[in-house]
Amino acid sequence: MSGLSHLLLTTADRKLYESTIEFYKALGFEPLTHSDSQIYLKLTAKAPAQDLTIKVKLVGDRAVDTLEKNTATIVIASDNLETVASIIQGRHMDFKKEKESYGGFVIKTKDPLGNALEFTDEDFRVKITPDPNLPIDASNKRKIAVLTSGGDSAGMNAAVRAVVRAGIARGCDVFAVYEGYQGLVDGGNLIKKMSWNDVRGFLEVGGTSIGTARCMPFKQRPGRLQAAEHLVSRGIDSIVVCGGDGSLTGADVFRSEWPGLLDELLANKRITEEQHKSHRYLTIVGLVGSIDNDMSSTDITIGAYTSLARICESVDSIASTAISHSRAFVVEVMGRHCGWLALMAAISTGADFVFLPEKPPSDDDWQTAMCDRLTRRRALGKRNTLVIVAEGALDKNLNPIKPEQIKDILSDRMGLDTRVTTLGHVQRGGSPVAYDRYLATVQGVEAVEAVLRATPETPSPMIGMSQNKVTWRPLMKAVELTHAVATAIGNKDFEKATELRDSEFKLDYEAYKATTVVDDPRMKVEAHQKLRVGIIHVGAPAGGMNAATRTAVLYCLNRGHTPVGIFNGFPGLFQGAVQELDWLTVDQWSSRGGSELGTNRSQPDADFGMTAHSLQKHKIDALLMVGGFEAFTALMQLDNNRDKYPMFRIPMVHLPATISNNVPGTDFSLGSDTGLNAIVNACDALVQSASASRRRVFVVEVQGGRTGYLAVMAGLATGATTVYIPEEGITLDRLQRDVKDLVRLYREDDPNHSEGRIILRNEKVSKTYSTDVISEIIKTEGNELFDSRTAVLGHTQQGGTPSPMDRIRASRLAVKCIQFIEQQAFPALDAAHAKGASRPVDIINTPESACVIGIVGTDVLFSPVKSLLGETDMKERKSSKAWWMPMTGLIHLLSIQDSKERASMVLDNLEREVDL
């Protein structure tokens, strides 16, 4: 079976037939095909729901067949009706087989409960029915152009690759327009039809390989008229544009003028009547490529995280020089109207002060306020000072704040040896990080889907990302909201400007602000509310553990709590390796990989009595556990033993940190992004090596435990040919099919330009088919057509400098964890204080006080550990929820040219949110 085909509604009354059709049209159902006595109507659903197709049929005045007595019939699609008939016959059930008007057959029967069933070989789930009023090109293919415009950003090439290959997989002709809008105006060789292999190697290349340029002629109608002629002459009536708000606005203007442009071209006999008729409407789909992350209606833009990574690399390097010479550095980063890069860089690098367009200093005398804060930090023993400035930074009166101005203040008032560093276009360059490759790929694929689903009435969509889902939003509405930020800043409405940014901007700013002030009395809690918060790392090391600990410590100190570091996990707690942490100790921890506290996999069940005793001895009032699945099970053990040990009746929270990303209750764990980047960097180097050998396949073993997250997401980011993960397993049939695909790929390659290829294998996917065995099978079956090698990345995935994404998540979540602990602890402490009683030993004993903090979409949620057991596979040590599983189909789709039918099924599985 292929699944539900459609719901069949029958009636013998024509008035009822017609009113039923009008009713469903009013609900938003659109006609697909129809005759005088039957009609198909389709409702396109929002993800994760499925599209619904119904068929309304007029059966006439004849006696209604016994198999049609019900007015509703479930219709199931199948590509093997003979087998269906034999199964029904074998169960001695009545059925009828009839020929339908579309040329196929239908089998009618009833289930044992009397429900009417039909089995059809017509499947409307994956069929794209063209609008009969829109004549298509003689080649019967949609023709799509893709161009990049405006400032370049890392990930644009990945978007172009995705559009080209997804378009070809969907049966379209795809053209690349070189040099942006200038290529549309000039035409000729600048509009090139792309083949599958033309975008080989695009994933790892920064910038845009098809070029971008400013184009003044396109801003004028004669230039757009020429562009329209060049498109129509090639049969193109759909454009995917990757650029900023100016580029996308220009594209929508082009669309609005399109009918008039074609009329003028026809009047001047520059196009034919047939061309005019066949290309009456232009489809525009926008992708946002911008390092500033300044577009509204999307949480993140293509290229922003790569730019942030370049900034953090530079600032991390500057920090060592600053410490050596006890200097101050003022670093200017890009962002004329948007402070996202500056804010996220400040959080990631532990900057002492940041200047943003949306959040100017609240003090009129901001110079003195800045110097006071920096002086207090220096008094604590800090040897370096870092100030980050967005290029569009303003004070509250809209006066520009420039790096040289800040330098002079620090030098003159504080006597600091100060340097200014302007990073400039370094921020735009370099190979895209893993997340930008993923973002550009899924959005590029979705852009093709948007083209195929577009109608003349549909507003031009902008493909974005919200709540970890691919979204379609009206393009011009997004541009309007983006411009509203600059308007709000100009009106000094900075609160509105902040609200118009992505959903995480304000949260991240508040977290940064709460951890950078020193000894602010307004932040202190009451004396009886002060807590001793234990911080412990449990499990394997992961990038972001230290950043989370640093933020938790700073926030605790600013609130008046005492942060207590527990070294070497639970064994360290038993042995008394416990120490109060101060501001200076953790200040440089943001950029450090691994675990400064030390971590291991030991659990509290090794000795519950000693665990309780140690918590009591060190007067621990709350516990923050940073780690992977081991930390999850440790929290569960402590929660389950609260009845026996009063010292476990304290607020406890688990902050997930593991490269495997297998902790229930969260879409992302700290370290998973750092691990992905390590895999991507290694695979890029391996592909270069394999390409130099012309015909070589690397089987790369990656970590992840019994979870395939790393393999799948790295496979998508590196362009892997296939991935082997525990969720799917490995069979001999699968290996044979994959080897056949490799043989076909290498036979089709130009022998002088053959590429290296990557296969990713999860470390736990199979005991039989090891990395070496798979490599030997590939080598043998390749029959000297290609070679095979192995690479086991091992613990390199756990080490290295944490990525900016992991540092930012660590900061945001750590602040939330301490706030959660306060919310759970304060009621009991306040009640005891009001009664004049002593401080309670057991502060709280509710399921809600032992939680896992998680990122679900973009929301930060706390889930009681007991409530997560229903979605936890304890045997396999992972969550049963895997939002990333549909990406497995995309890996195959974009690496191996496959059938249109398979492409359609893969793309139907993607989660999307449409708001047009």
From the number of C-beta atoms within 10 Å of its C-beta (0-12, 13-18, 19+), residue 68 rates as: middle
Best CA proximity match to 882, nearest among 891, 874, 890, 873: 873
Q: Is 915 annotated as a binding residue?
A: no
Q: Is residue 233 annotated as involved in ligand binding?
A: no
Task: State the Cα angle at 527 between 810 and 350, rounded to 5°.
Answer: 25
What is the H or E stretch that residue 845 is in? none
Measured CA to CA, the distance from residue 46 to residue 879 in angstroms comes to: 25
Q: Is 797 annotated as a binding residue?
A: yes
Q: For residue 290, say whether it is annotated as part of any ligand binding site.
A: yes
334 is in an annotated binding site: yes
Catalytic site includes residue 750: no
- Does the annotation place 291 within a ligand binding site? yes
Q: Does the annotation list 795 as a binding residue?
A: yes
Q: Is 419 annotated as a binding residue?
A: yes
Positive or negative: CA dihedral 882, 886, 887, 892: positive
User: Has 892 been labeled as part of a binding site?
Assistant: no
By three-state DSSP, how is residue 305 classified?
A: helix
CA distance 43 to 38: 17
Q: Is 595 annotated as a binding residue?
A: no
Could you tell me if 117 and 108 are in contact, meaning their C-beta atoms sit under 8 angstroms apart?
yes
Residue 703 marked as a ligand binder:
yes
Task: Provide the β-strand partners of residue 73.
Answer: 8
911 annotated as belonging to a binding site for a ligand = no
Is 428 annotated for ligand binding?
Answer: yes
Q: Is 757 annotated as a binding residue?
A: no
Phi, psi torsion values for 469, nearest 5 degrees: -125, 145
**Tokens at 820, concatenated:** 């959660």
**Residue 329 dihedral angles phi and psi, to the nearest 5°:** -120, 135
789 is in an annotated binding site: yes
| Beta pairing partners, 563 | 533
| 601 annotated to bind ligand | yes
Find out whether 318 is annotated in a ligand binding site.
Answer: no
SS3 sequence of 474-527:
EHHHHHHHHHHHHHHHHCCCHHHHHHCCCCCHHHHHHHHHHHHCCCCHHHCCCH
Closest CA relative to residue 810, chosen from 374, 519, 512: 512
Instruction: Considering only CA atoms, give the Rg of the chain.
Output: 31
- Was 39 annotated as part of a binding site? no
Q: Could you say which of 186, 292, 587, 749 is catalytic?
A: 292
- 594 labelled binding-site residue: no
Rounded to a whole number of angstroms, the distance between the first and last alpha carbons of the chain is: 33
Sign of the four-CA dihedral 671, 674, 679, 682: negative
Cα–Cα distance measured from residue 289 to residue 300, given in angstroms and rounded to the nearest whole number = 10
Q: Binding residue per annotation — 215?
A: yes
Contact 659, 708 (CB under 8 A): no
Does the annotation flag 425 for ligand binding? yes
What are the counts of helices (DSSP H) followed by strands (DSSP E) for the chain? Answer: 27, 33
Q: Is 833 annotated as belonging to a binding site?
A: no
247 is in an annotated binding site: yes
Inter-residue contact 124 to 131 (CB < 8 Å): no
Residues tagged active-site: 292
As annotated, the binding site for ATP includes 151, 214-215, 244-247
In the annotated binding site, the residues are 151, 214-215, 244-247, 290-292, 327, 334-336, 391, 419, 425-428, 601, 658-662, 696, 703-705, 763, 789, 795-798, 877
Please report, in range form, the residues annotated as the binding site for substrate.
290-292, 327, 334-336, 391, 419, 425-428
Binding site, annotated residues for Mg(2+):
245
